[in-house]
Amino acid sequence: MSELKNVVLKNIVKTYLGNDGKPFTAVNNINLEIKSGEFVTLLGPSGCGKTTTLRMIAGFEIPTSGDIYIGKENVSKLTPDKRDTAMVFQSYALFPHLNIFDNVAYGLKLKKLSKDVIDKKVRKILELVGLNGLEERAPNQLSGGQQQRVALARALVMEPSVLLFDEPLSNLDAKLRVYMRTEIRRIQKEVGITSVYVTHDQAEAMSMSDRIIIMNKGVIEQIGTPKEIYEKPATKFVADFIGEANILEAEIVDIADKRVNIKLADKIFSVKTDLNVGKEDKINIVIRPEAVNLVDNGDIEVNVKSSVFMGAYQDYVIELDNKEIKLVQYDPQHKKVYNTGEKAYIDLKANSIHVIRN
């Protein structure tokens, strides 16, 4: 394997000319460092700029302005074949007329390596991805998951410093996607290769990534570990995009020592925050559905607007201060279930409340 390298994007802008003849900024002045050996996911809705960013790292798109470094080398103007990267595509892009061995060996043959070296490298990488014994098969004789592993093997056998993934699992069914994301992460950890992965699937990003980069309208909204992104979203967009969230306007009653006292349904909660806010500032609070429990007695009474059994959890909508809030309670067969129209109380801890700017 080649020496592992970091990837640095400095002030990257990509502008296209739209159909109306006006310029459109797909990526707007982003700065980013991906550490050597790290698995980072670019996550966001369609049109947020994540694929354009990946394609600029790969060399399929050239930045309008800014610089891209792989290791210490500025690769901003280099063609894809001159960059120490390899791409795993959504469509697999396998050669239908070549067997699995020859598909994986294709790039090595272009480099004019000896037959013995090619044979050794291909067999080693096929064993790594769990395809040894299938060398003579044609691509159409393999399942979708196996074809994706051939595409991964073909990229890895070139021993790049950086591996790029363009929504590689989107063509697979749900169960196979879960299996393949585990496999890709296992292989990436075993090889230790720097990896940049693009997806719009939250579960993929949460389960595979060292860090997640949330993009929206061409800018980076937040960078963090899956835990940080979920528990401490930086913006309303991130809170709403990752998982489910109740986002409520809240009134600041007092501020002291990195804590804000907020009023919710006539009860005061003292919430820790790193935000620099004043008493007159408008804020929102984020409460995840699983952070609230329904109980028989408490300080805050609510109306149960909806109660639906979903197997592993009971799905509730409650009314609090004339606002509807979504709750989930797991393992409902061992808990009291509240029916639609009933009164209940909520058990909510201050450390389950996260403060963001309005």
Q: Which amino acid is at 310?
A: M
Domain limit, last residue, from 181, 205, 237: 237
Return the CATH number at 252: 2.40.50.140
Half-sphere exposure for 171 (CA within 13 Å, toward CB): 13
Return the CATH number at 89: 3.40.50.300
**232 and 308 together in one domain:** no
Share of the chain above pLDDT 90, in %: 65
Q: What is the pLDDT of residues 133-152, one digit of tens each?
A: 889 999 989 988 889 889 99
Instruction: Look up residue 62 and give its DSSP letter.
Output: -
pLDDT tens digits in sequence order for the chain, 358 residues long: 567 889 999 999 999 988 888 899 999 999 999 999 999 999 999 999 999 999 999 999 999 999 999 999 999 999 998 999 999 988 878 899 999 999 999 988 888 889 999 999 999 999 998 888 889 999 989 988 889 889 999 999 988 999 999 998 888 888 888 888 998 899 899 889 999 999 999 999 999 999 999 999 999 999 999 999 999 999 999 999 999 999 998 888 888 888 899 988 888 999 999 888 888 888 999 999 999 999 999 889 999 999 999 999 999 999 988 889 999 999 988 889 999 999 999 999 999 999 998 7
**222 and 200 together in one domain:** yes
Q: Specify the residue for token string 């929206």.
A: 216
Q: Inter-axis angle of helices 115-128 and 100-110, to 10 degrees?
A: 130
Q: Is residue 149 part of a domain?
A: yes
Q: Is residue 296 part of a domain?
A: yes
CA distance 32 to 30: 7
CA distance 128 to 147: 14
pLDDT at position 280:
80
Q: Specify the residue for token string 């509240």.
A: 338
Measured from the Cβ of residue 132, the count of other Cβ atoms closer than 10 Å reads: 12
Tell me the sheet residues that pair with 272.
259
Domain limit, last residue, from 186, 202, 237: 237
Distances (CA, A) of 148 to 63, 100, 142: 29, 11, 10
**312 and 223 together in one domain:** no
**138 and 181 together in one domain:** yes
**255 and 228 together in one domain:** no
What residues make up the domain containing 106?
A: 7-237
pLDDT at position 2:
61
**Of the candidates 240, 232, 271, the residue with the CA atom closest to the CA atom of residue 255:** 271
pLDDT at position 299:
83
Measured from the Cβ of residue 105, the count of other Cβ atoms closer than 10 Å reads: 24
pLDDT at position 20:
85
Q: What is the pLDDT of residues 292-304, one digit of tens each?
A: 999 999 889 999 9
Helix H or strand E segment including 252: strand 246-256
pLDDT at position 251:
85
Q: Which two tokens stand for residue 45?
A: 């809705």
pLDDT at position 1:
55
**Of the candidates 263, 254, 260, the residue with the CA atom closest to the CA atom of residue 274:** 260
pLDDT at position 326:
96
**Of the candidates 58, 81, 60, 53, the residue with the CA atom closest to the CA atom of residue 70:** 58
**Of the candidates 265, 284, 260, the residue with the CA atom closest to the CA atom of residue 323:** 265
Q: Is residue 29 part of a domain?
A: yes
Helix H or strand E segment including 28: strand 23-34
Q: Is residue 1 part of a domain?
A: no
**233 and 265 together in one domain:** no
Q: Is residue 2 part of a domain?
A: no
C-alpha 38, offset from chain centre: 14
What is the total count of domains within the chain?
2
φ and ψ at 55, to 5 degrees? -65, -30
**136 and 255 together in one domain:** no
pLDDT at position 113:
87
Domain limit, last residue, from 199, 221, 237: 237
**Of the candidates 224, 204, 282, the residue with the CA atom closest to the CA atom of residue 250:** 282
**229 and 338 together in one domain:** no
CA distance 116 to 126: 15
- Note the pTM of the prediction, 2 decimals: 0.89
55, 246 Cβ separation under 8 angstroms: no
CA torsion sign for 238, 242, 248, 254 is negative
**272 and 173 together in one domain:** no
**105 and 253 together in one domain:** no
**147 and 203 together in one domain:** yes
